[in-house]
Amino acid sequence: MPIELEETTDGIVLPVQAQPRARRNAVAGIHAGALKVSVTQVPEKGKANAAIAGVLIDALKLKNSQITLRSGETSAHKKFLITGLTLTELQSRIAEATSE
C-alpha cells in the first residue's frame, strides 16, 4: 500500500505511524498508508515527536526548516508538513529510505 501523500498550498503532508520506545531510531517501512518511524524516545513532552522529526530529516535528506508537525502531537498517527520539495522528489526520497 503506497503512502497517502497530500499536496497542499503549504507543502506536502506526510502521514507517519509513530512507534516510540523502539530499539533504534529508523524508518521502519510503510504501514497502513503511512511511513512507519521507530524511535527510542518515550512519548512524553514532545520528545518522541522531536526524535521522529530527526529521523525524517536524516532519512529524507531534509533541512530542519523543511519539516513541521501538523497534527497528531499526542497520537501514534501523525502528519508532518514537508516544504521545499516536489511530490516526485519526496516520493523518490521515501522510496530510498524504505529500501535501505
Task: For the chain, give the percent of residues with pLDDT over 90.
Answer: 94
Look at residue 85 and tell me if it is in a domain: yes
Look at residue 1 and tell me if it is in a domain: no
**pTM of the predicted model as reported, rounded to 2 decimal places:** 0.94
Q: Which residues pair with 91 in a beta bridge?
A: none
Domain that holds residue 62: 6-99
Distance (Å, rounded) from C-alpha 53 to C-alpha 58? 9
49-85 pLDDT tens trace: 999 999 999 999 999 999 999 999 999 999 999 999 9
Look at residue 77 and tell me if it is in a domain: yes
DSSP H or E stretch at residue 66: none
The tally of domains found in the chain comes to: 1
Look at residue 65 and tell me if it is in a domain: yes
What CATH number is given to the structural domain containing 13?
A: 3.30.1200.10
DSSP H or E stretch at residue 27: strand 26-31
CB 44 within 8 A of CB 52: no
Look at residue 76 and tell me if it is in a domain: yes
Q: Which residues pair with 16 in a beta bridge?
A: 35, 78
Residue bearing cell 501523525:
78
CB 27 within 8 A of CB 34: no
